[in-house]
Amino acid sequence: MKIALAAAMLLALTPVAASAALKSSAMASGPMIIRGTVISYAAPALVVKDRGGKAVTITLTPDAQAATVTIIPIDAIKPGSYIGTAAEAGKDGVLRALEVHVFPEAMRGTGDGHRAWDLTKKSSMTNGNVGAVSEQGKAKAKAKGRLLTVDYQGGTQQVLVPETVPIVAFAPAQLGQLAPGVPVFVIVQPMPGDKLVANRVTLGTNGVAPPM
């Protein structure tokens, strides 16, 4: 199960990998991220109301898998944790986390690096190993929280994690949990004929939406 979950989330959080898994000589464009809530699910069609209020139909592949997110305390982030975090740079130059997702050990290395991310207009995504955790941010970083040093191949970022942002871990889920109103995060591959295809779905439970 850990291996299956690792594969699921590896593709769910790395669009390039998702693209590779859906190779087709007739691909229309690169992968896209769909965030929203379930309108209906009747295999293979998942209909989602996206953040703009539009109904989007996603075709799930026969081997599609699901994962869910659960809230964990900030204390769960320790030196040596492997994390991903969407963040925005503050005026003082410090990256401030919008969310943090902590990967299980089997998923270490997932999406390693620092890149632009579309959670907000100015957000980035950093995946890497936590090298240090400090209660002190940069001298001028006044938001209450913890400063993480996140190391990845080719670089390092410092990210201040306010105590108010969602911090989550992943757990296995079932596609049958895709009931109306459930929040979801899906990376889809556009295909000819305006068809959107996905083989992974991350869903929310117990009032927790996928924050990435």
* Domain containing residue 59: CATH number: 2.40.50.320
Domain check: are 96 and 125 in the same one?
yes
User: pLDDT at position 22, please?
Assistant: 37
Residue 160 falls inside a structural domain: yes
Q: What is the chain's mean pLDDT, rounded?
A: 86
Domain check: are 95 and 35 in the same one?
no
Instruction: State the Cα–Cα distance between residues 39 and 49, nearest whole angstrom.
Output: 6
Domain check: are 74 and 9 in the same one?
no
Cis peptide, bond prior to residue 166, ω within 30 of zero: no
Tokens of 51: 């953040």
Confidence of residue 10 (pLDDT cuts 50, 70, 90): very low
Bridge-based pairing of strands 195-204 and 55-71 is parallel
Q: What does the pLDDT look like over 44-99, one tens digit per residue?
A: 999 999 999 999 999 999 999 999 999 999 999 999 999 999 999 988 888 999 99
Residues, the chain: 212
User: Number of folded domains in the chain?
Assistant: 2
Residue 45 falls inside a structural domain: yes
Rg (CA), the chain: 17
Which residue is listed with tokens 């996905």? 198
Does this model's pTM top 0.85? My answer is: no
User: pLDDT at position 46, please?
Assistant: 98
Domain check: are 177 and 194 in the same one?
yes
140: left (phi over 0), alpha (psi -120 to 50) or beta: alpha
Instruction: State the Cα–Cα distance between residues 159 and 133, nearest whole angstrom.
Output: 10
Residue type, 199: N
Q: What is the DSSP letter of 74?
A: G
Domain check: are 43 and 74 in the same one?
no
